[in-house]
Every structure is written in structure tokens, then in C-alpha cells.
Structure 1
Amino acid sequence: MFDAAVRLYDSFTSWLFQSAVQPALYALGMMEWAEDAFSWMDFFVFGFVQVLVVYAICRPLEAWRPVEHWDDRRVVGTDVAYTLLARLGVLPLMAFVILAGVQAQVAGWIADLGWVAPNLETLVPGLEGRPFLAFLFYILILDFGEYWRHRLQHSLPWWWALHSIHHAQEKMTFWTDDRNHVIDDMIAALWFGGLALLIGVPPGQFPLIVLVLRVAESLSHANVRLSFGQVGERLLVSPRFHRLHHGVLSAGEEGRNFAVLFPVWDMIFRTGDFRRDVFPRTGDPEAPAELVRGGWWRQQVAGTRRLWRALRGPAVG
């Protein structure tokens, strides 16, 4: 299943590059950029697939049974801009340019050491020859890492200075998932990608894992009155479960319901709130106006200033 999906995706990107991108580069006399252009196109196509799948799943749900109705949706438009920039725009290119050199150096250093990352199929013999079961285990481990990254975002003052942009939204929709500071997004990419490398996630499965978590996170932010029931709420994060995390009484260090996909981590570490049929108002009462109603650039600047103040610590007076 995984190999077939990867082959289909690779066939499409190869066709798109050969039929559209490569001729354009040739006409412009820029064939020396062909390899970089293919990498960028791959970013764009995969991002487009993510946005398309998320919209197809979440938008009908929000139209079916919304928690809230708003006349003014301008701040939601800001979240749409976040998604388009993060998935289709300049941010993946920035991350690629900044991290490509680091990745090459790390890969060379690992190769010089002769170290080959283990994977679950070799560490757990029962998983050998069972790629779907191994896929689920990879997701479980990565989700555990995401739970702790999320807790640290709330518990470390400098990280909360960045993450507070995400929690300032009072009109939460599935677009809100991408409402993050650029620095926060880069830290998250390093955290997630580093853990995936450490546990040996196969390259063919990594994009599918990203897609699964992307859909789950967007759904959990959706403006939909949806609960998975008393049992289901303990198996998968629902929009109701995560809305409690975004509630006005759950902002900052006193957060709860940190899980991204599996609530079991909140159950184990006693950070879960499983009250049923509770859909609180979202937002951070302490967030300044620019984080609540500002545009993308204004929020990025405000987040950077808050980060600087947090790193400097309280003023001595």
C-alpha cells in the first residue's frame, strides 16, 4: 500500500516536472537550477495535497454543525494566509534553504561514523514484513514526541511567547492549525524530523505520517460540535477534546489536553480533561490586540518581540 502510494506520487511529480517546470527552466536558460526547482516543486505539490485533503474533510463538518457563527471572519482570513504560506508559499522554501546545509553536514557526519539509524522492523522482529503495523508504531512514537513538544511550548516562557500566537485566536477553525510563529514552525520541523530520523522512519512512509498527523491536527481545531463519545475520546483526539485545550481557561502554563492524536498521553501524565459536551469559548485573555486581530506580519513581529523579552528575563529594577 505504501509503496503503491509513493510510486503514484513520484510518477505525478516526475510528469509535472518534465512537462511544465523543466521546459520553463530551459526557456529561461536556468537549467542549472533544475535540481533545486524539483525539490521546491515537490514541497509545493505535497503541500497542495495536504491542504486539499484537509479542506475536503473539515470544511463540510464546519458547515454541518458549527460551534460558533461569526459575521466578521477577517481574522479567519489571517489563518488562511498562515496555511497557504506554510504549505504552499515561501516558508517551506525558507526552511529548505536554511536547513539544507545543516542536513548535509549532519548526514556527512553520521556517514563518517558509520552509524545507520535502526528501525522498528529490525528492533522488533514481530513487525518485520508487516509495514502497516510498523507504520502505526512509528505514528505512536512520533505522537509521543509531539505531546512533549506541546507541553514544553506551554511550560517554557520563551516558547510560550511564540506559541501564544496560536492560542490568541478567538474564532478557531481548521485553518488555525497553521497559525504559528515562523521560529516555532522551524523548531517543530527540527523536533519532528529529528525524532523520525532517530527511530529510522522509512523515507517512503514519512510523507504519509505527516499527512495523517496534519489531517488529525486540522480536524481537532475545526469549528464543529463533534465528540467521539466516552470511549472514542480516549482513543483519538476530537474537536471537542482539543477545544478544551484552546479554551480561555486553559491558556498559558495551566494548559491541558496536550495530545495531538492519541489522548492516552494525557491519561498517563494526568493532563487530560474529558468533560463531555463542553465547547468553551477559545482565546487567550492575556493576549495583546496584535496577536488577536493583527495580520500575519504584525503577529510575527509581536511574537518576536515577546520572545526577546522572555529570553532577556524580568527586568531588574
Structure 2
Amino acid sequence: MIAAIEDLYDQVTAWIFHAWVQPVMYELGLMAWADDAFDWVGFFLFGVVQVLVVALVCLPLERWRPVERWDSRRVVWTDITYTLLARLGLLPLLGFVVFSGAAVAIEGAIADSGFVPPTLETLLPGLREWPLLALALYIVILDFGEYWRHRFQHQFRWWWALHSIHHAQTQMTFWTDDRNHVLDDVIAAAWIGIIAVAIGVPPAQFPVILLVLRLAESLSHANVRLDFGRVGERLLVSPRFHRLHHGVLSVGNSGKNYGVLLPVWDWLFGTADFKRDHYPRTGDPGAPAAYVSGGWLRQQGEGLREVWRALRAPRGG
């Protein structure tokens, strides 16, 4: 099934490139960049798929049983800007160029050394016969890594200065998932990329994993009064479970419910809060005004200033 989806994806990417992108590049004399442009078309198409899947799932839910209704949605449009820039715009293009070059250099260094890093399938050879089981295990391991990255975002003062942009939103919707500082996104991409390489995630499965985690994160931020029941709440992160994490009384290092997909990590490490029928007001009361009501550019600039202040502040201050 994964192979069939990959083939269809490659065919659509090739059609878009040959029908629309290549003629323009030829006219502009940019064919030396054709290979990079083809890769970018695939990346762009993947971003479109992510946005469409998430919107098709989350928009009807938010209209069905919203937690809050607002007269003005201006700050929500800022979050939509974040999503479009993160998934379709210049930011992922820059990230793709940087990280693809770094990946080639790292892979070349490993190949020259003769070292073959152990992967999940070398440790458990039977997984080669069970691709869906392997996919599930990759998701669990990466989700575990995301839990700890999220906890570190709240633990280290300089990192919280960046992550507070995400928590400052007082009108949280599924678009809020992408409300992050560019530096925070770079760290996140490197974090999950390093773990994926270390455990040997196949290139064909990595986009599927990203789509699963992306859908889970967006749904958990949705403005919808929804939980998964007493049992389900302990199996998958719900909008109610994650909203407790975004509550005004759960900011900084006092937070709960860090899980992205699976609440089991919060349960195991003592950070779970399973309060039922509780949907608190969201936001970070200590955040700069720009984090709350500023536009994308203003928030990015203020984020850099806040990180600098956090790094210069005396320990314990």
C-alpha cells in the first residue's frame, strides 16, 4: 500500500514539474537547478497534502462543538500565515536546501568511514516482513522523542523564550500547531531528522510518519470540545488533553500533558493530567504583547530579543 501511494505521489510530482515548473525554468535559463526544483515540487506537494488533510478533519470539528466563539479572528489569521509559510512557503525551501546538503555530507562521511549505524530493522530483522508493524514502531519511537523535545522547550529558559510564541495564543485553533519561531522549527526539524536517521526510518515511510504526527498535533490544538473517553484519553492525545497543556495556569516549567500522539509518556513520567470536562482559557500571561497580538514578522523579531535576554539573564533570575 505504501509503495502504491509513493508511486502515485511521484507521478503527480513529475506531472506538475514537467507541465508547469520546467517550462518556466527553461525560459528563465535556470535548468541547472532542475533537480533541486523537482525535489522542491515534491516537498511543496507534500505540504499541500498536509494542509488539506488537516483542514478536512479539523474544520468540521471546530464548527460542530467549539470551545470558544470570538467576534474577531484577526489573531487566528496570524496562525494561518504561520501554517502557509511553514508548509508551503519560503521557509521549508530554505530548510530543505540546508538539511539536504547536510544529509549528503553526513552520509558521505559515514560511507567513507565504513561504519554502518545500527537500525531498528538490523536489531529486529523480522520487521522487514512486517512493514506496517515497523511503521508503527517508528512512530512510537519518534513520538517518544517529541515528548522529550517538548518537555525541554518548557524546561530551558532560552528555549521557552521561543516556545512561548506558541503558547501565547489566546484563540487557539488547529492552525496554532504551526505557530512557532523559525529557530524553534529548525531545532525541531533537526531533532526528528536525527532520530529518524539513527533508527533507520525508510525514506518512503518518513512522509507518512510526518503526516500522522502532523494530523495528531493539529487535532490536539483544535477549538473543539472533544475527548476520547476514559479509556481513549489514555491511548491518544485528544483536544481536551492538550488544551490543559495550553491553559494559562500550565505555562513554563509547571506544565502538564506534553505528549504529541501518545499520552503514555505523560503517564509514565508523571506529567499527565486527565481532568474530564475541563477546557481552560489558553495563553501565556507572562508573554510579551507582540507574542499575543503581533503579526508573524513582529513575533519573530521579538522572539530573537527574548532569547537574547534569556541567555544574558543571571541563573535563577
Please give the TM-score of this superposition, normalised by the length of structure 1: 0.97
Which amino acid in structure 2 is aligned with residue 57 of structure 1? V
Return the alpha-carbon distance in structure 1 between the equivalents of residues 144 and 122 of structure 2.
21
Q: CA deviation at 1:316?
A: 12
Write out the 4+ residue segments of structure 1 that deviate beyond 6 Å after TM superposition: none
Matched, 1:296 2:291: no
Q: Aligned residue for 1:203?
A: 203
Return the alpha-carbon distance in structure 2 between the equivalents of residues 138 and 125 of structure 1.
14
Q: Aligned residue for 1:104?
A: 104
Matched, 1:169 2:194: no
Return the alpha-carbon distance in structure 2 between the equivalents of residues 230 and 84 of structure 1.
35
Which amino acid in structure 2 is aligned with residue 169 of structure 1? Q
Q: Aligned residue for 1:121?
A: 121
Range moving further from structure 2, 89-98 or 284-293? 89-98
Q: CA deviation at 1:310?
A: 1.1
Q: Aligned residue for 1:267?
A: 267
What aligned pairs does 1:1-317 form with structure 2 within 5 A after superposition? 1-314=1-314
Structure 1's unaligned 5+ residue stretches are none
Return the alpha-carbon distance in structure 1 between the equivalents of residues 294 and 257 of structure 2.
27
Return the alpha-carbon distance in structure 1 between the equivalents of residues 62 and 310 of structure 2.
36
Range moving further from structure 2, 101-110 or 4-13? 101-110
Return the alpha-carbon distance in structure 1 between the equivalents of residues 202 and 36 of structure 2.
23
SS of structure 2 residue aligned to 1:128 = helix
Return the alpha-carbon distance in structure 1 between the equivalents of residues 316 and 178 of structure 2.
36
Q: CA deviation at 1:203?
A: 0.6
Q: CA deviation at 1:23?
A: 1.6
Please say if residues 122 and 128 of structure 1, whose CA atoms lie closer than 8 Å, have aligned partners that are also in contact: no
Q: CA deviation at 1:315?
A: 9.1
Q: CA deviation at 1:41?
A: 1.4
Return the alpha-carbon distance in structure 2 between the equivalents of residues 311 and 181 of structure 1.
16
Which amino acid in structure 2 is aligned with residue 202 of structure 1? P
Deviations 1:279-312 (A, max 9, x none): 0000011111110000000100111101111112
Range moving further from structure 2, 127-136 or 268-277? 127-136
Please say if residues 121 and 200 of structure 2, whose CA atoms lie closer than 8 Å, have aligned partners that are also in contact: no
Please say if residues 75 and 171 of structure 2, whose CA atoms lie closer than 8 Å, have aligned partners that are also in contact: yes
Return the alpha-carbon distance in structure 2 between the equivalents of residues 142 and 150 of structure 1.
12
Return the alpha-carbon distance in structure 2 between the equivalents of residues 283 and 114 of structure 1.
50
Deviations 1:59-88 (A, max 9, x none): 000000100000110000000000000000
Please say if residues 78 and 296 of structure 2, whose CA atoms lie closer than 8 Å, have aligned partners that are also in contact: yes
Q: Percent identity?
A: 67
Return the alpha-carbon distance in structure 2 between the equivalents of residues 136 and 116 of structure 1.
24
RMSD: 1.5
Return the alpha-carbon distance in structure 1 between the equivalents of residues 117 and 261 of structure 2.
25
Which amino acid in structure 1 is aligned with residue 244 of structure 2? L
Please give the TM-score of this superposition, normalised by the length of structure 2: 0.97
Q: CA deviation at 1:27?
A: 2.1
Deviations 1:217-247 (A, max 9, x none): 0000000000000000000000000000000
Return the alpha-carbon distance in structure 1 between the equivalents of residues 208 and 175 of structure 2.
20
Which amino acid in structure 2 is aligned with residue 100 of structure 1? S
Which amino acid in structure 1 is aligned with residue 129 of structure 2? G
